[in-house]
Amino acid sequence: MHDTSSHAVAHHGPPASFIRKHIFSLDHKVIGKQYFGLAFVAVLVGIFLSWLMRLHLGWTNLAIPGLHLLSSNGAPGNLMTPEYYLQLMTMHATIMVFFVLTTAPFAAFGNYFLPIQVGAEDMPFPRFNMMSFWITFLGFIALMSSFFVGDGPTLGGWTQYAPLSAIGQAAGPGEGTGVVLWAISITLFCIGQLLGSLNFITTTLDMRTRGMSLMRMPLSVWAWFITSVMGLTAFAVLMPACILLILDHVAGTSFFVPSNLVINDQLLPHSGGSTLLWQHLFWFFGHPEVYIAIVPGMGIVSHVLITSMRRPLLSHRVMIYSMGALAVLSYMVYGHHMFVSGMNPVSSIAFSFPTLIITIPATIIVLLWLGSLYGSRLRINTASLFALGFISMFISGGVSGFFLAQPSIDILLHGTYFVVGHFHMVMGVAAMFGIFAGTFFWFPKMFGRMMNETLGRIHFWLTFVGTYTIFMPFHYIGLAGNIRRYQAFTPDYMQQFIPVHKFITVAALLTGAAQLIFVYNLIHSRFWGKPAPDNPWEATSLEWSTPSTPPPWNNFGDKMPVVYHDPYQYGVEGSTGDYVMQNSPERIETVRDEA
């Protein structure tokens, strides 16, 4: 039997120095934790910014002490200016989308568990992996520094629509240096994620241990694999787009600035560019990005749920094919973000149709979860609760997607809070629930200690209820015509929404504060939690078979695991209980799904 797979690449030895062990580590587990830490810091910043925004939306004339510290442009009398509000909004979105929703479920958990779950010692290119994190980290620093450089961060929104993003200072504070820093940050992020994707794909294809056939990989591995295939080309398109945007700023070109543009009573010298070009390039990345954020969550949730249900999904294959179909279709639907952009109306139809089709695999995925849950004896713990919460959020947020997929309805709703509610639920909070589920599920393996279950459940219920309280009203006021991206609601017809906004603000502050429970739980359990057994959830996949907890530097010690079974052998007569681990050589009647 020739065994080219596991030993095709030179491996690194155990880390020798402190720096190699904790900072410039080549170990995928340390890099995964570093990504986790980065996402953790980023999400705290992101929540903090959303608090400031919500306070302002609820009580427009409220002076927030210390507000001027965050913006070099200043906030006169600690009152938020409209530009300040937009800056907060832009930074909130950029931080959350890129540095939380992409890094945590994909880069952090993927880095840590993908190689272990396929039975590899490490990724094939540990140096690329290290660079991937540090380049991403530099990107985060570049983004954060825009708070303190020039006249503050950009106010263009995370989509950075041209021409306002491309003309510099004339468009307002932060549109000069702020945009350049934003674009540099995203360019770096793209490079980092490209290196990461390269590693993920080669690990999945080439580093699987003996017996680990493709269909024997856990669903989380499939999700990360599919995500990295998407990321490979999506980030590759955003990168040149950002570079062209930088050129518009520093080289005087006008890729995205049309002729004869008058901004703030100045006629700009640019000519010949196209604003729609930016949107096409951006959303060609942007839509796959939505799936890059959510598909790892789907994998994590499936993995967690199956372990808690003690039975495999109705169909392993259909789940994989559906996630694959999401990935394929995600390239064909990006124009549904552009229905109101002045795009050719014929293209709107061409984008609307696949957008409606993409709901089919998404629905199949949800039905697979629900069908498998039906009649199962679910073990309730925080991880499985968050997995259920993910499904709930994904359905509630996804249903409004059916409306938004149709241009005629989207044109009415696109500029309102309806869209804000939609994407926060289906992509933002759902992915966050996936992250929480993964954290509670894998924390014992990552840090060798259990998280506090009581605090976890309190945190879950507060977050679950809080999320609906925040984002359902978004849908209602959106339908009623509340325009988004406004910092205050002065027109007569919008003043009636102010009480709703106050309600949402209170809910957001409380839900945000509930996250402190999680922060406390995380930090407290990290140092003083109950020591974790090797396999606390009685799960079957390889990450629970490591010789120690947390795993040693080469994951499996000297003996590489050999895989004998399909990933989810629950509900069988095994020697250890109702499950048989993938690397256990005992012969059993394989649990097969019905499909």
Q: Which residues, numbered 553-572, are part of the site for another protein (CB under 8 A)?
A: 559-560, 562-566
**Which residues, including other chains, have CB under 8 Å from residue 63's CB and lie 6 or more apart?**
77, 78, 79
Pick from 421, 189, 423, 156: nearest CA to 278? 156
Q: Which stretch binds another protein (CB under 8 A): 96-104, 340-348, 426-434, 528-536?
A: 340-348
Burial of 202 per CB tally in 10 Å (0-12, 13-18, 19+): middle
User: According to CB under 8 A, which one of 346, 375, 454, 528 is a site residue for another protein?
Assistant: 346
User: According to CB under 8 A, which one of 60, 81, 169, 274 is a site residue for another protein?
Assistant: 274
What is the biggest distance separating any 2 CA atoms in the chain, rounded to whole angstroms?
Answer: 79
Determine the size of the site formed for another protein (CB under 8 A): 84
Site for another protein in 308-327 (CB under 8 A): 316-317
Query: Residue 143 in contact with residue 185, Cβ under 8 Å?
Result: yes
What is the C-alpha separation between 284 and 529, in angstroms, rounded? 44
415 is a contact residue toward another protein (CB under 8 A):
no
The CA angle 232-237-240, to the nearest 5 degrees, is: 125
Helical segments of 207-315, H only: 219-250, 275-309
User: According to CB under 8 A, which one of 194, 298, 320, 504 is a site residue for another protein?
Assistant: 194
What is the C-alpha separation between 468 and 557, in angstroms, rounded? 46
- Encoded one letter per residue, x for contact with another protein by CB under 8 A and - for no contact, window 481-520 reads ----------------------------------------
Pick from 469, 471, 443, 446: nearest CA to 456? 443
As a residue count, the chain comes to 595
User: According to CB under 8 A, which one of 77, 82, 272, 557 is a site residue for another protein?
Assistant: 272
Compute CA distances 130 → 111, 143, 230, whole Å.
11, 20, 21
Based on CB atoms, which residue is closest to another protein, 144 or 261? Answer: 261
Based on CB atoms, which residue is closest to another protein, 91 or 191? Answer: 191
Least separation in angstroms between residue 214's CB and another protein is: 5
Based on CB atoms, which residue is closest to another protein, 417 or 564? Answer: 564
Based on CB atoms, which residue is closest to another protein, 47 or 244? Answer: 244
- Encoded one letter per residue, x for contact with another protein by CB under 8 A and - for no contact, window 199-218 reads --xx--xxxxxxxxxxxx--
Based on CB atoms, which residue is closest to another protein, 264 or 271? Answer: 271
Least separation in angstroms between residue 563's CB and another protein is: 8
43 is a contact residue toward another protein (CB under 8 A):
no
Site for another protein in 282-301 (CB under 8 A): 284
Based on CB atoms, which residue is closest to another protein, 20 or 210? Answer: 210
The residues that bridge with 483 in the sheet, in sequence order, are 416
For the chain, helix, strand, coil in percent to 5 are 65, 5, 35
Based on CB atoms, which residue is closest to another protein, 27 or 151? Answer: 27
Least separation in angstroms between residue 169's CB and another protein is: 17
End-to-end CA distance of the chain: 32
Least separation in angstroms between residue 131's CB and another protein is: 13
Least separation in angstroms between residue 409's CB and another protein is: 21
Least separation in angstroms between residue 63's CB and another protein is: 44
Looking at this protein, which amino acid is placed at residue 490?
T
Pairing of strands 577-579, 266-267: unpaired
Q: Which stretch binds another protein (CB under 8 A): 74-82, 177-185, 195-203, 445-453?
A: 195-203
Based on CB atoms, which residue is closest to another protein, 199 or 505? Answer: 199
What is the C-alpha separation between 117 and 331, in angstroms, rounded? 28
Cβ neighbour number for residue 558 with a 10 Å cutoff: 7
Please confirm whether the linkage preceding 473 is cis (ω < 30° from 0): no
Which SS3 state, helix, strand or coil, does residue 356 take? Answer: helix
Query: Residue 229 in contact with residue 197, Cβ under 8 Å?
Result: yes
Query: What is the token pair recorded at 475?
Result: 């849908």
Least separation in angstroms between residue 311's CB and another protein is: 15
Least separation in angstroms between residue 277's CB and another protein is: 5
Region of 561 on the Ramachandran plot (φ > 0 left; ψ -120 to 50 alpha; else beta): beta
339 is a contact residue toward another protein (CB under 8 A):
no
587 is a contact residue toward another protein (CB under 8 A):
yes
Please state at what angle helix 275-309 crosses helix 316-330, rounded to 10 degrees: 170
Least separation in angstroms between residue 194's CB and another protein is: 6
Q: In this structure, what are the phi and psi dihedrals at residue 188, rounded to the nearest 5 degrees?
A: -60, -45
What's 67's DSSP letter?
G
5 is a contact residue toward another protein (CB under 8 A):
yes
Based on CB atoms, which residue is closest to another protein, 145 or 347? Answer: 347
Site for another protein in 232-261 (CB under 8 A): 232-233, 235-237, 239-241, 243-244, 247, 251-255, 258-260
Least separation in angstroms between residue 581's CB and another protein is: 14
Query: Residue 386 in contact with residue 460, Cβ under 8 Å?
Result: yes
- Dihedral angle over CA of 46, 490, 500, 404, nearest 10: -70
User: According to CB under 8 A, which one of 347, 359, 376, 392 is a site residue for another protein?
Assistant: 347
User: According to CB under 8 A, which one of 170, 350, 458, 479 is a site residue for another protein?
Assistant: 350
Site for another protein in 130-169 (CB under 8 A): none
Site for another protein in 90-129 (CB under 8 A): 118-119, 124-125
Least separation in angstroms between residue 259's CB and another protein is: 6
User: According to CB under 8 A, which one of 24, 59, 321, 331 is a site residue for another protein?
Assistant: 331
Based on CB atoms, which residue is closest to another protein, 144 or 244? Answer: 244
